Amino acid sequence: MIIILLGPPGAGKGTQAKDLAQRLKVPHLSTGDLLRQNVKENTQLGKLAKQFMEKGDLVPDNLVTGMFVEQIKSADFKNGFILDGYPRNLAQAKTLDEILKQRKGRLYVIYLDTCEAIIIQRLSGRRICSACGANYHLKNMPPKRDMLCDKCDGELIQRTDDREETIKNRLAVYLKSTASLIDYYERQKKLYRISGNDEAEIVLNKIINLVSAEDK
Q: Reply yes or no on whether 163 is catalytic.
A: no
Q: Would you say 55 or 190 has its CB closer to ligand AP5?
A: 55
| 50 vs 35: CA distance, rounded Å | 8
Q: Reply yes or no on whether 122 is catalytic.
A: no
Catalytic one of 36, 50, 127, 170: 170
Q: Would you say 123 or 207 has its CB closer to ligand AP5?
A: 123
Q: Would you say 104 or 175 has its CB closer to ligand AP5?
A: 175
CA 114 to chain centre: 14
Length, in residues, of the chain = 216
Q: Write down the least CB distance from residue 110 to ligand AP5, Å.
A: 12
Q: Write down the least CB distance from residue 216 to ligand AP5, Å.
A: 26
Q: Would you say 28 or 137 has its CB closer to ligand AP5?
A: 137
Q: Which residues contact 105 (CB under 8 A, 6 or more apart)?
A: 1, 2, 79, 80
| 135 vs 123: CA distance, rounded Å | 11
- Give the bridge partners for 136, in sequence order: 127
Cα-Cα-Cα-Cα dihedral of 47, 52, 58, 63, to 10°? -20
- Give the bridge partners for 83, in sequence order: 4, 29
Q: Reply yes or no on whether 170 is catalytic.
A: yes
Q: What is the layout of strands, in order, in the sheet containing 126-129?
A: 135-137, 126-129, 156-157
Q: Write down the least CB distance from residue 186 to ligand AP5, Å.
A: 20
Ranked by CB distance to ligand AP5, the top (closest) residue is: 32
Helix (H/G/I), strand (E/B), else coil: 191: strand
Catalytic one of 18, 55, 159, 206: 159
User: Where do contacts with ligand AP5 occur on this chain (CB under 6 A)?
Assistant: 7, 9-15, 31-32, 35, 52-53, 56-59, 64, 85-86, 88, 92, 122-123, 126, 135-137, 140-141, 161, 170, 199-200, 203
Catalytic one of 50, 88, 122, 127: 88
Q: Write down the least CB distance from residue 91 to ligand AP5, Å.
A: 10
Task: Tell me which residues are annotated as active site.
Answer: 13, 88, 126, 159, 170
